[in-house]
Amino acid sequence: MSLEGRAIGIALTGSHCTVPEVVPIIDNLVESGAAVTVIMSASVASTDTRFGKAQDLCEHLERITGNQVIDTIAKAEPIGPKRMFECLAVAPCTGNTLAKLALGIIDTVVTMAAKAHLRNGRPLVIGVSTNDGLAGSAPNIGTLLCKKNVYFVPFGQDDPLGKPNSLVFRVSDLVQAIELALEGRQMQPILVDNRKR
């Protein structure tokens, strides 16, 4: 399956070390002909970190995709009524956004985008990236695994000895997980060996 011509939303949340790994995937998606719009959580849109400057990221993504970044709840609301995306991926998804998605708390740009998108019965793909994946976030991952139209990018422990509770999705599986979600299928195996070597 190809994503050529498909309308895809990619929502970035504040796993700031993972965002730069997702940017080349977005570049490739656009090159392969997908119509991509990026959504940014407030922390991604406003935080300069050692991994890069927020404004540079925003400018790059707007230039590459040709679409304005969605960075307010008001801009995210039309995603539902306008049926903007065939698939929306939240990747990386922080422990914070995971918790809100699991509990139906809609007070951020990305949770608004997800809620608006899910109302149309369309697939939401989650790429979890959080140091407490096997601790505080574990119940939220479990809740979302059981939700209709929610799929996960395969994930695993990235540093079992150094950060035993940390889970990170496999960035290189993001596109395939989206392709399968568009067919109503969960990419398998969900649990992968994701140690950085």
Ligand X SMILES: Cc1cc2nc3c(=O)[nH]c(=O)nc-3n(C[C@H](O)[C@H](O)[C@H](O)COP(=O)(O)O)c2cc1C
- What are the residues binding ligand X (CB under 6 A)? 13-18, 41-44, 49, 94-97, 108, 129-130
Cβ 97 to ligand X, closest distance in Å? 4
Complex with ligand X: residue 37 or 129, whichever CB lies closer: 129
CB of 64 to ligand X, least distance (A): 21
User: What DSSP character marks residue 38?
Assistant: E
**Among residues 42 and 192, whose Cβ is nearest to ligand X?**
42
Q: How far is the CB of 77 from ligand X (least distance, A)?
A: 17
Query: Measured from the CB atom, is 18 or 65 closer to ligand X?
Result: 18
Q: Give the residue nearest to ligand X (CB).
A: 14
Between the alpha carbon of residue 141 and those of residues 27, 59, 93, 97, 138, the distances in Å are 28, 32, 11, 11, 5
Strand, coil or helix: 13: coil
Smallest distance, Å, CB 154 to ligand X? 17
* CA 187, 175, 119, 46 torsion-angle sign: positive
CA distances to 14, 72, 80 from 24, in Å:
17, 24, 27
Nearer to ligand X, 65 or 137 (CB): 137
Beta strand pairing status for 167-169 and 124-130?
A: antiparallel
